Chains A and B, each alone.
Chain A
Amino acid sequence: RKEVEQDPGPFNVPEGATVAFNCTYSNSASQSFFWYRQDCRKEPKLLMSVYSSGNEDGRFTAQLNRASQYISLLIRDSKLSDSATYLCVFHGGATNKLIFGTGTLLAVQP
């Protein structure tokens, strides 16, 4: 089983839609969780950290469910500029490395 599982998409949504991505992880020792955004032919960039209590940054809301070992990202009022690949990432256990999912491709249509 892969350490991180994500639906690769693509998710095609109209502008203004609400879209949600889920991601499951297998390493229960994971300590930190993140969502990264990667534009086509660009490097990944940190979108937001994910906390157990849930956290919000403008139109973006991230949540962590440790019992079920999944994290989620909700994007409200989608913009064309939100089109990108969203990578689920965790960090922790005995290593100092980030483990990435395969990414979910979001295409926001006008």
Chain B
Amino acid sequence: GAGVSQSPRYKVAKRGQDVALRCDPISGHVSLFWYQQALGQGPEFLTYFQNEAQLDKSGLPSDRFFAERPEGSVSTLKIQRTQQEDSAVYLCASSPGTANGYTFGSGTRLTVV
């Protein structure tokens, strides 16, 4: 596609519920990143894929967070047993590999009630 597509755009989850957030990167982009942005803060790195390999998951805040990119294109970020502190905008970005080639999706706004 022409840009990075994320779905759903908004998600309201009850505390304890599992959620799955989807990211469709730009076709051909080998690098894919997930970021978490809390209100009033800058985006915080969660995890990074190069093709299907998850090369860095140092930013995942707990073992309730899991990401995958099985075929090196679409990626899913899964959050198990959601908690209120998980409420944030989750941004996906893809890149052909260069530092200035990042394109961000519009994000998924997750609200845990």
Contact = CB atoms under 8 A, between A and B. Distances in A.
B42 A32 contact: no
B41 interface: yes
B1 interface: no
Interface of B: 31, 33, 35, 40-45, 48, 50, 55-56, 59, 91, 93, 99-100, 102, 104-107
Interface residues of A, number: 24
Interface of A: 4, 6, 8, 31-32, 34, 42-46, 49, 87, 91-92, 95-103
B106 A102 contact: no
Contact of A97 (B40, B48, B106, B107): B48
Given A96-B48, A98-B99, 16 more contacts: A4-B42, A32-B99, A32-B100, A34-B99, A34-B100, A42-B106, A43-B104, A44-B104, A49-B100, A91-B99, A92-B99, A97-B33, A97-B45, A97-B59, A98-B33, A100-B44
